[in-house]
Chain A
Amino acid sequence: MANFEFVLPPAPTRNVTPRYGEQDLVRRSASSVPPPARKLTEMAKLIDVSKCIGCKTCQVACLEWNDERIPVGENLGSYTIPSDLTPNMFTLMRFAEWVNPETQDLEWLIRKDGCMHCEDPGCLKACPAPGAIVQYSNGIVDFDHDKCIGCGYCVDGCPFNIPRISKVDHKAYKCTLCSDRVAVGQGPACAKACPTHAIVFGTKEEMKQHAADRIKDIKSRGFANAGLYDPPGVKGTHVMYVLPHADHPELYSGLPRDPKISPFVYVWKSAAKRYASLAAMAAVLVAVVVHQVAAGPNRSSDEDEDKARKLIEGRDK
């Protein structure tokens, strides 16, 4: 392993100034950002499912780096523990058992689930809090917890069902792609810890090239449909998978075949709908003012008063 191409550099001990920041934002929830002066190289994490041995070191590394703790799990009949992503567990090995109908082999399909860092992030589109979700030009989608209001709209916006809302501080949590580590030239903690290099990190181009090599190897081992998962429906992701059965991504614990932002979310968050709403309210306001001026006020007269008096006094007699 010593000569492995994508071994991450040792942690820097000096000059740990972040290499990117606010000035490199390309998207900011419920607000806009000026076009950044420079474009960072797109980064990506590549998860080669065929090399994963299910050791969960990535989960441990994730908890360790993010200083999170999860309670001792319960065995619900699966190695997937905890049974789902939680506000503290940003990545999760999902275990699926599948009998390949062609070979009758039992295949253990293990997928490391977590934020995919979409190029077109649904969470960011849905978020109503300015700046609570940001995207850097290197592709990382990050949450700013100081600005998060805990509404859960990011959960509805995400095509991969990733964000989780904390019951403690009511904020949304997910994988950050270790943006803090990447900012100082490191890779994500999970990639650093993975003992088989199933998780590697580098520029998106490097990762695609590495994936192509891996796919060639996997195909040579009899998996004709091996391929890269970089779904175009969200304009590509910055976490990609090498899948031996890329023609059936849903085999891997329901990895969506063609993920994209739901049309409901598109319409809900569309500028057209916002303008239509404002226009409708403005139109009705204008209409009532015109009506008030043209036809009003509709006041009762002294005559009405007299008639009412007669009616009432008629009863009183």
Chain B
Amino acid sequence: MSAERHTVSTIKRHPLDVRIAHWVAAVSFILLALSGFALFFPRFFFMTALFGGGETTRFLHPWIGLALALSYLVLVVRFFRSCLWKKEDTTWVLRAPDVLAGREENLPEFGKFIAGQKMYFWGMALLFVVLLVSGVIIWHEYFGNLTPIAVQRLAALTHSIVAVLAVLGFIIHIHMVTWEPGTLRAMISGTVTGGWAWKHHRKWLREVVAGKN
């Protein structure tokens, strides 16, 4: 099919459904972080104004959480095969100094995702599961009577700690996009340049060229 055709300046990387799910997840995450911070840090309570006040913030936060959970579920379905751990991923971890210095000539060729992306993908999936479960437990409006109060206390504590871990991951995720120019367009137009693919995901580029991907 000609629509499948890749040219050197436009290698197809992410189809439309993946990009939509990604941006729904990204916007949800930012809104959750802002509203969550407003409810967690007394000094940031003023940020509830962004959501129409304290009550609407309290009301919206869990629903945005569900939007994140659903959109991330789409990403899990679409990405989990490409994010399975491979032998070269262990090498990537062991040669972290080369990775951080951008010396990719010292690293093996990587598939669609490198080990860092896979760790982020599975790490966030795990954190989101914990946030979803603990969040539902403390969603007082609907589930206040579902669990004993002792469980709700543990869930509230867990939710607030795990949320910070997710924000840490999110910061690193954004940094990696800016650190590797040419990455952002993969999630906007859905394509990358041949040079970008050759440098960062050569094994994947070979698969794409061979028509296997």
Residues of A within 8 A of B (CB): 30-31, 126, 128-130, 147, 149-153, 155-156, 161, 165, 170, 262, 264-265, 267-268, 273-274, 277-278, 280-281, 284-285, 288, 291-292, 295-302, 304-305, 307-309, 311-315
Contacts and interface: CB of A to CB of B under 8 A. Distances in A.
B8 A156 contact: no
B209 A297 contact: no
A170 B144 CA distance: 12
Contacts of B164: 277, 280-281
Given A288-B175, A302-B195, A304-B198, A155 B144 contact: yes
Interface residues of B, number: 57
A115 to B, nearest CB: 15
B168 A308 contact: no
Given A128-B40, A153-B156, A308-B8, A292 B194 contact: no
Main secondary structure of the interface of A (DSSP, over half): helix
B99 to A, nearest CB: 10
Main secondary structure of the interface of B (DSSP, over half): helix
A155 B149 contact: yes
A113 to B, nearest CB: 15
B157 A268 contact: yes
Contacts of B17: none
A189 B180 CA distance: 69
Interface string B138-178: 10110010000110111011001100100110011001001
A267 B102 CA distance: 40
Given A151-B39, A152-B140, A264-B154, A300 B149 contact: no
Nearest to A302: B195
Interface of B: 6-8, 11, 39-42, 45, 48, 53-55, 57-59, 100-102, 104, 138, 140-141, 144, 149-150, 152-154, 156-157, 160-161, 164, 167-168, 171-172, 175, 178-182, 193-200, 205-206, 209-211
Contacts of B45: 30, 128-130
A307 B152 CA distance: 57
B39 A300 contact: no
Contacts of B54: 129, 147, 149
A150 B141 contact: yes
B58 to A, nearest CB: 5
Contact of B199 (A165, A284, A304): A304
A129 B45 CA distance: 7
Nearest to A315: B209
Nearest to A308: B194
A-B pairs, 8 with minimum CB distance? A308-B194, A152-B140, A305-B195, A149-B54, A288-B175, A304-B195, A300-B195, A30-B42
Give the one of A31, A302, A308, A314 with max B CB within 10 A.
Answer: A308
A128 B150 CA distance: 19
A309 B194 contact: yes
Contacts of B152: 155-156
A156 B156 contact: yes
A165 B198 contact: no
